Amino acid sequence: MKPRILIVDDELSMREYLAILLEREGYDAVVAASAEEALTRLEGALFDMVISDVQMPGLNGIELLARIKSLSPNTAVVMITAFSAAEQAVEAMKLGAYDYLSKPFKNEEIKVVIRNALEKLGLKRENTVLRQEVAQRDGFCGIVGISPRMRELFELIAKVAGSVSSVLILGESGTGKELAARAIHTCSPRKGKPFVAVNCGAIPETLIESELFGHKKGAFTGAVADRPGLFEQAEGGTLFLDEIGELPLLLQTKLLRVLQEREFRRVGDATVRKSDVRVLTASNRNLEEQVREGSFREDLFYRINVVQIVMPPLRDRIEDIPLLVEHFCRKMNPGGTTAITPDALKALMNYPFPGNIRELENVIERSLILDRQTISEASLPKQVVAMRASCLCTDVVVPDEGMALEALLENLEKGYLLKALEKTGGAKKKAAELLGMTFRSFRYRLAKFGLDDEA
């Protein structure tokens, strides 16, 4: 990703000059004509750096600097001014500015400052990742992985953690979306405050408003006392709303208001309460599709989707399977030693794991119940071993003219789904069991291929 730089100056000519200069250097330049506009942009997107004039109408650059450091502490800030004032320079550096330049400056001068600031920022993020990995044997903030996809994920988490931007975490069921949310919280300035997680699909529609915002005594039958909601429990910290796509439309409206106004009311209470909570969301659904269907508010989608993190399915990071197996063995057999035979490991690495990491964990737990010393093919589920056998028996041929592998795999997957439904007479739960999948994962795949109505 190109480094993203926000240019803040009330002079159009300076904004255009810096934007052209930065674009030519390979940066993604965004401009703002005032400090107020800059703050709006900072709330809606991530920036690696801000270059701001000091003398501006309304909020000046020094005031903007202080606000930036509270909004996004890891964003590098360079101040520029036409007035050479030592007092301002000292104040800016005390508030956390990376550097301070006086107009007129040479092109090479600002290029060097920007390059050095971004290098320092990159090293800081890399050190954050490395410190977490050293501090925790089980990977980055509890997320296990060494594959290129996971390294990219760790770097992105380190990047977004220091900001207040909304993050939407997408991925299939079982890919570790809550772990990613916890990692963002752990790497953020809010790490000493509460992390509260809730699955929006697991709470009855009649109770979810009270669960999120709390209620006043007597607000409804059964409300025998005042009760704080999850927003109050997470005050100063992070609230993770898993399966946000399951939230009813009425509650989506109320959630949007909290995100915009930073305030809410308990059910049955007239008192307005302020909220200082960072909200992270996740979904295994296609939210854009839900927006088109009218079951998810478009304005809420754009509000929560400032930064998007996609958790890779386990089949796209098979090189992490040996590490994950070791991790689960240590977790389930503390103090003991569990070996895995080469054939068993090959079988696991050949299996597509439709239930992702959660399914792998269940497979390891089952194997350890049967034999705590050794995981062999005999202790693995039949569908895992069968997949390895089918891989060994299949002659793989790639035609000289090439092939559409993606389409071939999709057709193969679709065929298995339909065949399983045919065998079970359309019973989805039984079909999911037949394919060794969770019902949620099976339903997700049906929806992906538009088979929901057919099934």
Q: What is the pLDDT of residues 306-355, one digit of tens each?
A: 999 999 999 989 889 988 998 899 889 887 778 888 888 888 988 899 99
Lowest mean pLDDT of 22-36, 209-223, 238-252, 410-424, name the range.
Answer: 410-424
Lowest mean pLDDT of 191-195, 223-227, 444-448, 451-455, name the range.
Answer: 451-455
Residue 32 is predicted with a pLDDT of 93
Q: What is the pLDDT of residues 370-391, one digit of tens each?
A: 888 889 888 998 888 876 655 5
Over residues 436-448, mean pLDDT: 81
Q: With 60 as the cut, is the pLDDT of residue 194 above it?
A: yes
- Structure-block tokens of residue 314: 């386990």
Residue 398 is predicted with a pLDDT of 62
Q: With 90 as the cut, is the pLDDT of residue 202 above it?
A: no
Over residues 84-98, mean pLDDT: 72
Q: What domains can be seen in the chain, in order of their start residue?
A: 4-127 (3.40.50.2300), 138-310 (3.40.50.300), 314-393 (1.10.8.60), 407-448 (1.10.10)
Residue 420 is predicted with a pLDDT of 83
Residue 394 is predicted with a pLDDT of 45
* pLDDT band for position 453 (cuts 50, 70, 90): low
